[in-house]
Structure 1
């Protein structure tokens, strides 16, 4: 092996298996997953000389609510600036919720001046408990990185753009969660030129940006095919439209999709990503 060794891109993925309320009760914070992501990325800090990106997928969001988020930066000390900025935003949400709780307590005290001390303390405890139970829902709805799937990337650029637009994760958005895709990785595809022409031969119009974009589009193509096959089958069977996304999400086989993509990849890679329905993956 004659090529020089470098500290190339680092990646991290956290998948929470329980709701945010569990982590608040057990660890005292809804940020437990985000803190684990920060720690994993900090351990690879030497790999992030050219930029940092983080992503989040929230599960079971109400229709009309956003569920996929990312933040990227190529500034100096980008890891600290990106993560600490999100922690500050979380703090604002937490303080606003506490102010709302305290205002309700003060109002109750003002409306019931004749209550005994014990009765007042009991009511205050009830209000505090109710707000604590409601806080995880506030975090999930209002904190962009308050989801169950968290990804991080530290960029050591070897090709493509520099600046925040060249930072991972890359995202492919549609209004179908099972077609929406977020990808990041550490790779150098030796046949990126051939892969782009493979996309063109299908009639696609790839943007010749980086091998990351090429990988994203290749996975996206096979994801579309898998999604559409299930959709057409369910439509022929007369399945109600609003029931179809759940069926597709349940039956979509992301391992099969990735296996089909990997047949034409040549080079070294470590890739992590998530589909909009929450199916996460890591491969190399």
Structure 2
């Protein structure tokens, strides 16, 4: 994606099922778990560029010694910073490098449970206090809770009101704080239930504490907490007494994978990350299914439990198109199929003139779709050659046959992201001129005035970079036609489950549709959709309808794409510019196992999605009205 879209966070968890001395003897380090967590986080660094955090719980710490450790940092270098700080703290304590038993009791961050998090903010709130993991402290080990997650709740107001009605007084309105307090409250209630139960049975003191710690029912806590949650989530937690859980939403919107053997349990947001960190085959990594939670008790018992029933499966397709690492075997094949599916509209856009067309990609994340596109083009070219030979056969001269067989699909590395220009130092036209030089081109790859140039991207969301930089720089090669291809469909609606796409005015497809409405004197449609949206604003989320769909209904995808092309063509561009988008049908054929497409279709998987798109359009219309004033 040529534009930076902030997206889902990344999670990583490690639970060692053997004593630290076991890992010291077998692998040469009692910091084996910490080292694995580093790999899991580093291999997911693409998922969080705003901050990172880590938490560790010890099982064998003595009273008066710390047993929960946390380290957090901000910025793109946060992973390196937190692990440097951790190793500095370890080095500051005088210890023996091989004394695992002493380390398990005294050395900071030498524990059995680890949690890591990589953060991308979807709320606009920043600062270290918003970096996961979050920590809820208590003097009883089993009442301590450390929480992190890849999630966004659409009904924070409902959850907030519920916990306030129960007597709590949250210190912050952000969903992470509220979820921490909600689960923490249920953890307190579970502790109290067990305290009353075992005390009535005659247990006292440390024996009572151990009975409570050994019987915490994490599944029941999650079931009670999640009853009113609306959103996409993978929520992970550690208790101070040694329970671990990772819980996926019932629609499977956010991804989670795990691996377990007799030594270790590992959880991460992406499958190849676990494969690489643990050096295992693809079949050994399991997916956490919708509504499931993997739970590891204090005593090391591992189970996967259905916390809530699975609902309409809506796994995020953007994960497959762009966000997740392309090294996953299935994702690699899917991205190739996305490119392959675009062959027909691409050929139509260049009037089937393969001989005079150069194919390329931008940015690097679109490379796999590019390979799929090339394979499809080569198949079509070979089919054309067979048809010509079959049609003319012996009538073809040797020269004509040689020319036919020499036809090939021409692919080049045309555009390169050259430097990270500091455009903030300039203003106005000067800033736009600097932005135009973020990318550079490979001169000599296109025959001026003769060749078409086709460039594939993963997605065209805002179109800003295309207009300010890419089309301008490609036009310097003097092609007849520039065709920008998106391997995903038009992004028409806000996301509310974790991707930073929340305002209607951000989407070039929406802006183009509004322009078409105005050009055709259909402004009444905007007002009508606004009135209907406004009228249902106070309804329960379950009764809200996404009327924004009606804005797109009068137009074909081709009409909107043509308008987008005109809007994104910079003044003075000599080449004809066309935009080709993937269709919804093509998306689902290429990625059949991930049907979540609400940002393309407007079909939100949870009721809260309809409420948020409703509010986004109301905000757009009222903002536009204010501008007119």
Instruction: Provide TM-score, normalisation by structure 2.
Output: 0.38
1:187 to 135, 151, 157: 151
Give the Å deviation of 1:142: 3.9
Structure 1 partner of 2:204: 240
Give the Å deviation of 1:92: 4.7
Distance 2:197 2:110 in 1: 35
Structure 1 partner of 2:297: none
Structure 1 partner of 2:121: 157
Distance 2:181 2:163 in 1: 8
1:198 aligns with 2:173: no
Distance 2:147 2:240 in 1: 11
Deviations 1:57-106 (A, max 9, x none): 1103222222111111114411111112222333454xx445xxxxxxxx
Structure 2 partner of 1:220: 184
Distance 2:144 2:89 in 1: 26
**Contact 1:89–1:143 under 8 Å retained in 2:** no
For 1:1-284, list aligned pairs within 5 A: 6-93=6-93, 96-97=94-95, 132=98, 135-159=99-123, 161-284=125-248
Distance 2:39 2:157 in 1: 36
Distance 1:207 1:43 in 2: 34
Structure 1 regions of 5+ residues with no counterpart?
Answer: 99-130
Distance 1:139 1:160 in 2: 40
Structure 2 partner of 1:113: none
Distance 1:241 1:23 in 2: 33
Residue 126 of structure 2 aligns to a residue in which SS?
coil
**Contact 2:6–2:122 under 8 Å retained in 1:** no
Query: How many residue pairs were aligned?
Result: 245
Distance 1:7 1:195 in 2: 23
Deviations 1:234-282 (A, max 9, x none): 2223322221111111111111111111111110001111111101000
Give the Å deviation of 1:141: 3.6
Q: Which runs of 4+ in 1 moved over 4 A?
A: none
Distance 1:160 1:259 in 2: 30
Residue 168 of structure 1 aligns to a residue in which SS?
coil
Give the stretch that moved more between structures: 213-222 or 228-237: 228-237
Structure 2 partner of 1:105: none
Distance 2:121 2:54 in 1: 16
Deviations 1:184-221 (A, max 9, x none): 00111001111011011111101234101111111111
Deviations 1:156-201 (A, max 9, x none): 0112631111100111111111111000001110011110110111
Distance 1:97 1:60 in 2: 17
**Contact 2:235–2:247 under 8 Å retained in 1:** yes
**Contact 1:69–1:145 under 8 Å retained in 2:** yes
Distance 2:124 2:65 in 1: 33
Distance 1:78 1:57 in 2: 21
**Contact 1:73–1:163 under 8 Å retained in 2:** no
Give the Å deviation of 1:26: 0.9
Instruction: Provide TM-score, normalisation by structure 1.
Output: 0.81
Structure 2 partner of 1:112: none
Distance 1:7 1:263 in 2: 26
Structure 2 regions of 5+ residues with no counterpart?
Answer: 249-629
Distance 1:87 1:255 in 2: 35
**Contact 1:160–1:166 under 8 Å retained in 2:** no
Distance 2:95 2:66 in 1: 21
Distance 1:214 1:204 in 2: 10
Residue 83 of structure 2 aligns to a residue in which SS?
helix
RMSD between superposed Cα atoms in Å: 1.8
**Contact 2:65–2:106 under 8 Å retained in 1:** no
**Contact 1:161–1:209 under 8 Å retained in 2:** no
**Residues 243 and 91 of structure 1, relative CA distance in 2, 3 Å threshold:** same
